[in-house]
Amino acid sequence: MQRSSVLAQRSSLSGLAGAARGRAWATSRRPLATSAGKDDISLSTVEGYKVARLGDTGVAPSTGSITVAIKAGSRYESEPGIAHVFKNMVFKNTTKRSALRIVRETELYGGVLTASLNRDSLFLTAEFLKGDEAYFTELLGDVITASTFQAFEYIENVVPQIAAEYAQAVADPLVFGFDNLHQLAFRKGLGNSLFASPNTPVDHIDAVAYARKHLSNPAEIAIVAAGVDGSFEQLVSESFAPTSAAPPSASSDIKSAGGSAYFGGESRVPQTHSEQDLLLVGFQGGSLSSPEWQVLQHLLGGDSALKWTNGITPLASASSVLAASTPTLGHGAGVKAFNLQYSDNGLFGFAVSAPTDQVRGLAQKAIDALKDASKSVKAEDLKRAVAKAKFHAALALESRISRLEIVASQIQANGSASSLEQTFAALDKVTASQVQKAATAALKSKPSAVAYGNTHELPFVDELSL
Domain of residue 381, CATH code = 3.30.830.10
If asked whether residues 275 and 205 sit together in one domain, one would say no
If asked whether residues 269 and 377 sit together in one domain, one would say yes
**Would 12 be classed as within a structural domain?**
no
If asked whether residues 234 and 273 sit together in one domain, one would say no
State the Cα–Cα distance between residues 69 and 223, nearest whole angstrom: 6
In single-letter form, the type of residue at position 79 comes to E
**Would 444 be classed as within a structural domain?**
yes
pLDDT by residue for the chain (466 residues), tens only, comes to: 776 665 543 333 333 344 443 333 333 333 344 555 445 788 999 999 999 998 876 666 899 999 999 999 999 999 999 999 999 999 999 999 999 999 999 999 999 999 999 999 999 999 999 999 999 999 999 999 999 999 999 999 999 999 999 999 999 999 999 999 999 999 999 999 999 998 889 999 999 999 999 999 999 999 999 999 889 999 999 999 865 544 443 443 444 555 689 999 999 999 877 778 999 999 999 998 899 999 999 999 987 777 767 678 999 888 877 665 665 555 567 899 999 999 899 999 999 999 999 999 999 999 999 999 999 999 999 999 999 999 999 998 888 899 999 999 999 888 888 888 999 999 999 999 999 999 999 999 999 999 999 999 999 999 998 8
If asked whether residues 167 and 127 sit together in one domain, one would say yes
Q: What share of the chain is helix, strand, coil (3-state, %, to 5)?
A: 45, 20, 35
Residue 385 to residues 298, 299, 417: CA-CA distances in angstroms? 5, 5, 24
**Would 11 be classed as within a structural domain?**
no
With contact defined as beta carbons under 8 Å apart, do 107 and 7 qualify? yes
**What is the pTM for the complete model shown?**
0.87
If asked whether residues 181 and 90 sit together in one domain, one would say yes
Secondary structure (H, E, C), 296-335: HHHHHCCCCCCCCCCCCCHHHHHHHHHHHHCCCCCCCCEE
State the Cα–Cα distance between residues 111 and 109, nearest whole angstrom: 5
**Would 312 be classed as within a structural domain?**
yes
Q: What is the pLDDT of residues 78-96, one digit of tens each?
A: 999 999 999 999 999 999 9
If asked whether residues 224 and 306 sit together in one domain, one would say no
In the chain, how many domains are there? 2
Domain carrying residue 350: 265-463
**Would 18 be classed as within a structural domain?**
no
**Would 177 be classed as within a structural domain?**
yes
**Would 85 be classed as within a structural domain?**
yes
If asked whether residues 187 and 329 sit together in one domain, one would say no
Q: What is the pLDDT of residues 302-335, one digit of tens each?
A: 877 777 676 789 998 888 776 656 655 555 678 9
Closest CA to 302 of 358, 355, 362: 362
If asked whether residues 273 and 227 sit together in one domain, one would say no
Last residue of a domain, one of 206, 240, 274: 240
3-state secondary structure of 459: coil
Q: CB atoms < 10 A from the CB of 456, how many?
A: 9
If asked whether residues 230 and 272 sit together in one domain, one would say no
